[in-house]
Amino acid sequence: MKNDIGVFGLGVMGQNLALNFSSRGFNVAVYNRSDEGEEKIVSDFISSKCKNIDNIEGYNNLKNFILSLKNEKVILLMIQAGKAVDCVIKSIVHYLDKGDIIIDGGNSNYKDTERRYASLKEKGIEFVGCGISGGSEGALNGPSIMPGCSLEVWFKIQNVLQKIAATGEKDIYCQRIGSRGAGHFTKMVHNGIEYSVMQILAEVYDIQKNLLNMGHHEIHQVFSDWNEKELKSYLMKISADIVILRDKQDAYLLDSILDVASHKGTGKETSIASLELGIPSLMKTQSVYARYISSYFEERKDLSKIYLKEKKSIV
């Protein structure tokens, strides 16, 4: 039997989305590149995560993976944004026919999505820039999905995407956002907003701990109370949880975590877009700068010594 969808890329997100599709009754083909160090990713996934699952097939051969799909093939790319997406598209396009659909589920720049859409459209192949939010847990149990595509393509992929998406009392958290790069643009802004929320939570934690001298359990209680009211969110919940999380030595884990925050680029891209469009986005941009500053760990240590020395001399 031909497969309903192919998942290219078996990182944590790709694996969990494949399992999600499977649990909703879809036949799924999975593939991962077999470069050095990644030779066993497909076989390990099938043997460890797909026990007693008969509607997921693993492939090490790219051509066989694609030919295992139904007509009007649908391939979901779950790979790192950037040049890798262009390389993969180049490698699979030879096996595709007019009307086949490639969905990019990574955090690609919306401008790259616009370019890829136009290039593939010339070949008769449809390209969907699709934001996926919710992390690995959401991928497995129901993510928020933001596809950018034509109405014609949306009607072809609507069922398969909405079946795996998160749902509310009345809503399905998967709707067509707009055409071409609209899905990835929305995901970019979504991530930029998350940068702001996380920065606010970090600063509130710092105020409570270092200015108000509140203990871990007090801060946990404040965050938990907020999570029961209008501030309820996933980020608030996990912030409340980690404040009282302890390590193997029974010390608070948060006290031993290095205060250096990385970034994947979507926050920066949101700020660039706001400048290009002439729309102020001060909080998001300052949140990106805060992450940049955090990366200068050694410099901050040296400056803090100078600051403390100067402070003592003034006192």
Give 172's DSSP letter.
B
Q: Are 254 and 274 in contact (CB under 8 A)?
A: no
Q: Which of 187, 268, 269, 284 is catalytic?
A: 187
Separation CA 35–CA 41 (nearest Å): 10
Q: Which of 194, 268, 269, 284 is catalytic?
A: 194
Name the residue type at position 108: S
Q: How far is CA 302 from CA 206, 259, 297, in A?
A: 21, 15, 9
Strand order in the sheet with 144-148: 56-59, 28-31, 5-8, 74-77, 101-104, 126-133, 144-148
Separation CA 251–CA 270 (nearest Å): 37
Separation CA 87–CA 89 (nearest Å): 6
Task: Give the closest residue to 113 by CA, choosing from 165, 166, 77.
Answer: 77
Q: How far is CA 131 from CA 80, 149, 181, 218, 291, in A?
A: 13, 12, 10, 37, 23
114 is catalytic: no
Q: Are 186 and 194 in contact (CB under 8 A)?
A: no
Helices (H), the chain: 12-23, 41-49, 62-67, 83-92, 110-121, 135-141, 151-164, 182-206, 216-226, 234-243, 266-277, 282-295, 297-314
Site of tokens 């939570």: 201
Two tokens at 144? 């928020």
228 is catalytic: no
Active site amino acids: 187, 194
